[in-house]
Structure 1
Amino acid sequence: MNSRKKELLSLNPNRLFSADPTQRAIAQRLYADVKNLPILSPHGHTDPRWFAEDASFGNPTELLIKPDHYVFRMLYSQGISMESLGIRTHDGTATASDPREIWRIFAQHFYLFRGTPSQLWLEHVFSEVFGLEHRLNEHTADEYYDRINAALQSDAYRPRALFDRFNIECLATTESPLDTLEHHIKIRDSGWQGNVITAFRPDPVTDPDFEGFRENVSALGELTQLDTSSYTQYLQALMQRRAFFKSLGATSTDHGNPTAITADLTREQAQSLFEKVLTGDFSAQDAETFRGQMLTEMAAMSLEDGLVMQIHPGSHRNHNQTVFKRFGRDKGADIPSQTNYVDALKPLLNKFGHRTDLSIILFTLDETTYSRELAPLAGHYPCLKLGPSWWFHDSPEGMRRFREQVTETAGFYNTVGFNDDTRAFLSIPARHDVARRMDCTWLAQLVAEHRITEDDAQALAQDLSYNLAKRAYKL
């Protein structure tokens, strides 16, 4: 199914722009103004160890396949086992270990990514980062492997050098409250000027359904020297960890609850529910209510410490239980689900929605909520902003649908620009380039239809590419 043995790899400078010549010309002018702006990456999942140790990335397979669930979920969907891709198992049983052979499997099946965002991102990486001239297939697999592998052994391709080359102004990783943040401390103390910060992800100690929840809450107590069997001291422990994260650059929290449900219980009700979930004998409704109460508690904490709150519900995590049991979390089996925001957020918004000193960024995997729920909510409540098209929708068409459905009600300035939300470090410039091209394409259409002026479009392109994220995430 692959193409000719040596098909040229060429990135068209007009990719993603409109085929209409008038709109394309406007988009070209807008894009020229923003394409080289610094990258802000305030929501992501790269490994801080990379930047702390600044060691070589190893080999192409370790860098471009194993950390990227976009890649191996597509291959898995076509019957290619994770064992054959060298994905580590929970029990340590053997999987493929030869990185070149794994790369050959990837190359042989690269045609599966035709028309997907992954093709756009990966071919940008191959061309712009490594200077490869031919497209990837089974005939060029070894050429790719050797060229990329040789590059990765050079100082120019170490994490910090690439961070500078990519013109990244700020990059946030995401850590659990139980993380010691040793790598962030090492980065801070190294004297390197790269701005790598952390973000506070409390799910392991706020979600009763998270594996090891009771043990995690106990570990939180040991870490903070507080009695986390007491609801009051449990909240104090969370505040203490938030302060520690903030001392190492954190400007945001990150909440991956299954739904957007919030709650506003009395302290006595919350204490009773907390004691119940700690026993391990609780219902699904108890878990849902506790998660909802913790979102409201986190909003209250944000009013104290100023951390921006990110809520991204709507993912049925680890849908494939066979994969989860064998390989663990984040292996491409999280599936979007229907999500309610209007009713779910009401308890939190009744309490804090009017506050101008609280910032909550909402994400969704349920696109049907854009115009019906999210845009009207963000277009009214001062505390709410809309996160960009995310995860399964961080694609050209996903970005177009987002702008079409939210702009008329929420405007541009109740959104927060773009964040890449990725573990795949080398794809960060590619993802931001796609977002900038698509925003310029959308703005060019508005200009061509005389709905905004080109001067307005130029200002908006700058805001969407850089200014809105900087302001929303307090960078």
Structure 2
Amino acid sequence: MTQPQRRDPDRLLPADPQIRAVARDLYALVSDAPIVSPHGHVPASWLATDTPFTDPVDLLVRHDHYVTRLLHADGVDLADFRALAAADPRAAWRVFAARTHLFAGTASGYWLDETLTGVLGVDAPLDAATADAAYDTIAARLAEPAFRPRALFRRFGIEFLATTDDPLDDLADHDAVRAADLGGRVAPTFRPDRYLDPDAAGFADNVHRLLAATGSPATFAGYLAALEERRRHFIAHGAVSADHGVEEAYTADLEPDEAERLFELVLAGTADAAERREFRGHMLVQMARMSVEDGLVMTLHAGVLRNHSTATLAALGPDTGHDIPVRTDFTRGLRPLLERYGLASGFHLVLFTVDETVFSRELAPLAGFYPSVFIGAPWWFLDAPDAIARFRSSVTETAGFSRGSGFIDDTRAFLSIPARHDTARRADAAFLARLVAEGRVTMAQAERIIGELVADQPKRVFKL
């Protein structure tokens, strides 16, 4: 008989009993603190319509590329899996459940366990033998009013949640969420990549749609004015930040005539690779200028080669598990932007990377000098317990604790939000406990720091 799962109350805390005792006390100070989530991908429509989640596969597997990428690596054809999930979600769940051993030791496995046990009340470890029982338990939960999106939002204790939205979105869903009075704030985030990057699919068509929607002329000045107008629309709906996802952290500060020339070339589709790179780099500088002027926090997620598998992109589309990290260069790449705006009053630039080598070499020194620069929390492949510990070790000795963003869950897996924030709180408690044990900070300092990391830090960085 399979025994019920029991979550270890000291999970992720240090093995050494003396340090663990300190970590336990620190964690207790923030374990029940409200969640502040200034960057994520939960669709506002979920909270606007409060539609029940459909089935366990759609809820936990199909849209989570952390999960599907390892299924694919094990030989699961994702197109077949997607078709099976639509036709027979229980059968697709069995395919997933039979492979849960693949996730042992991964952050995904930990979050799944936390979600299954802590949120959904699944008593036994998930595997092929328990698949049907777990499916039935979860399906029954999803039929309960307490497991609708709005009820879960309240249950999770979310104080602030940012979504990620297209610049031309009318944000009607956000109006509906605000009217619902969830007890916490939900804000849009301006994400203009497809309108800034000449290599993005449909770039020219997107720009023409932007110009038409704002009644702007097809000039560089008109293009900038159109982006500024849409930013104002987002700010009026509560936005606090603009997010930019780029492969390369490259910026270029161009003269107006050169910027106009490149705009004409990229819009016509005749710019070469070097010209497209210059335009893309200049638009990051323009986005920084706009942030200086309108106050939106600028976040930059750099260092990912999107859609590495052409065949998978053609079959399944983007965001299906084949985005792969690359090396990044922030020091040289961002210098033009920082030369222009790095010392500007009120400008906040939060830098995220999946290249661990730059934490101590580039991000900590940059944030340790420029008042505008903050170090983004470990992101994507790095938002796991050991990686968070490496991050803290890499940046703290140079930049301290105050120059970080606070934890960012960056997820569309709604039910995993509490687990992800809890992971960060436990990892930070473990790190601080070691510093206390080594006499590097006092217990009073550690107590203050862990509270700031959970609440004050993200609120300050994101101007909440």
Q: TM-score range by the shorter chain?
A: over 0.9
1:160 aligns with 2:150: yes
Quick check: 1:83–1:96 contact (8 Å CA) kept in 2?
A: no
Q: Helix, strand or coil for the counterpart of 1:361?
A: strand
**2:57 paired residue among 58, 61, 66:** 61
Quick one: which amino acid aligns to residue 306 of structure 2?
R
- What's 1:461 paired with? 450
Q: Is the 8 A contact 2:79 2:315 kept in 1?
A: no
Match of 2:73 in 1: 77
**8 Å contact from structure 1 (residues 160, 194) kept in 2:** no
1:114 to 104, 109, 114: 104
Alignment pair present for 1:151 and 2:147: no
Please report the TM-score for the alignment, with normalisation by the length of structure 2.
0.98
> SS state of the match for residue 11, structure 2?
coil
Equivalent residue in structure 2 for 1:365, among 340, 354, 378 = 354
Residue 44 in structure 1 maps to residue 34 in structure 2: no
Shift of 1:356: 3.0
CA displacement, residues 49-108 of structure 1 (integer Å, 9 cap, x when unaligned) = 100000111111111111111111110011101123216xxxxxx975211111111101
Question: Does the 8 Å CA contact 1:362/1:386 hold for their aligned counterparts?
Answer: yes
Contact preservation (8 Å) 1:313, 1:339: yes
User: How do residues 117-196 of structure 1 correspond to structure 2 at under 5 angstroms?
Assistant: 117-196=107-186
Q: Secondary structure at the match of 2:127?
A: coil
How far off is 1:192 after superposition? 4.4
| Partner secondary structure for residue 441 of structure 2 | coil
Whole-angstrom CA distance in 2 between matches of 1:363 and 1:95: 34
Match for residue 363 of structure 2? 374
Identify which of 251, 259, 267 aligns with 1:278: 267
Describe the SS at the equivalent of 2:350. Answer: strand
Return the offset for 1:129.
0.6
- The amino acid of 1:123's aligned partner reads D
For residues 231-250 of structure 1, the aligned pairs below 5 Å read: 231-250=220-239
What is the distance in 1 between the residues matched to 2:127 and 2:219?
58
Does the alignment pair 1:264 with 2:237? no
Give distance in 1, aligned partners of 2:85 and 2:121: 31
* Aligned with residue 304 of structure 2, among 315, 329, 332: 315
Q: In 2, Cα distance between the equivalents of 1:192 and 1:442?
A: 34
Q: Deviations over 1:389-421 (max 9, x none)?
A: 000000111101100011011111010110100
- Is the 2:4–2:124 Cα contact (8 Å) retained in structure 1? yes
Are the equivalent residues in 2 in contact too, given 1:311–1:360 (CA < 8 A)? yes
1 CA distance for matches of 2:69 and 2:365? Answer: 34
Q: Which amino acid aligns with 1:408?
A: E
Q: Any idea what the Cα deviations from partners look like across 1:172-192, whole Å, max 9, x if unmatched?
A: 110111222221122234454
* Pairs within 5 Å for 1:261-410: 261-410=250-399
- Give the secondary-structure state (helix, strand or coil) at the position aligned to 1:256: strand
Q: Aligned partner of 1:149: which letter?
A: A
Q: Give me the whole-angstrom Cα distance separating, in 1, the residues matched to 2:110 and 2:170.
A: 36
Task: Give 1:18's aligned residue.
Answer: 14
- Work out whether residues 260 and 345 of structure 1, in 8 Å CA contact, stay in contact via their aligned partners in 2: yes
SS at match of 1:374: helix
| SS of equivalent residue, structure 1 residue 342 | helix
State the distance in 1 between where 2:195 and 2:85 align.
Answer: 32
Matched-pair contact (CA < 8 Å) for 1:17–1:24: yes
Aligned counterparts of 2:211 and 2:128: Cα–Cα separation in 1: 53
What is the DSSP-based 3-state SS (H/G/I as helix, E as strand, rest coil) of the residue aligned with 1:50?
helix
- Give, as a single letter, the amino acid of the residue that structure 2 aligns with 1:338: R
Return the offset for 1:354: 1.3
Instruction: For 1:408 and 1:312, locate their aligned partners in 2 and report how far apart those are by CA, in whole Å.
Output: 23
- Aligned pairs for 1:95-114 within 5 A: 97-114=87-104
Matches of 2:172 and 2:320, distance apart in 1: 25
How much does 1:7 deviate? Answer: 4.3
The 2-side partners of 1:131 and 1:462 are apart by 29
SS in structure 1 at match of 2:302:
coil
Q: 1:7 to 1:85 in 2, by over 3 A?
A: farther
Cα distance in 1 for partners of 2:33, 2:192 equals 32
Kindly indicate whether the alpha-carbon contact (under 8 Å) linking 1:388 and 1:417 is maintained by their aligned counterparts in 2. yes
Give the secondary-structure state (helix, strand or coil) at the position aligned to 2:87: coil
Q: Which amino acid aligns with 1:313?
A: A
The CA RMSD measured in Å over matched residues stands at 1.2
| Aligned residue among 450, 471, 474 for 2:460 | 471
TM-score, with length taken from structure 1: 0.96
Instruction: Give 1:47 deviation, angstroms.
Output: 1.1
In the alignment, which residue of structure 2 is the partner of 1:90? Answer: none
CA distance in 2, matches of 1:18, 1:355: 41
Secondary structure of 1:399's match?
helix
8 Å CA contact 1:84, 1:96 repeated in 2: no
Write the distance in 2 (CA, Å) between the matches of 1:256 and 1:191.
Answer: 31
**C-alpha distance in 2, partners of 1:111/1:96?**
24
The yes-or-no answer on 1:86 pairing with 2:82 is yes
Secondary structure (helix, strand or coil) at the match of 1:363 reads strand
Contact 1:363 1:386 in 2 (8 A): yes
* Contact 2:188–2:238, Cα closer than 8 Å, also in 1: yes
How many aligned positions are there?
A: 464
Match of 2:216 among 226, 245, 250: 226
Pick one of 2, 14, 23 that aligns with 1:27. 23
Query: Which range moved further: 62-71 or 156-165?
Result: 62-71
Summarize deviations over 1:199-233 as a string: whole Å, max 9, x none: 00000100111100000000101211112x21001
Provide the residue aligned with 1:449 in structure 2. 438
What is the match of residue 440 of structure 1? 429
How far is the alpha carbon of 1:130 from its aligned partner? 1.4
Structure 2 unaligned residues grouped into runs of 5+: none
Structure 2 distance, partners of 1:467, 1:85, is 43
The answer as to whether partners of 1:354 and 1:381 remain within 8 angstroms in 2 is yes
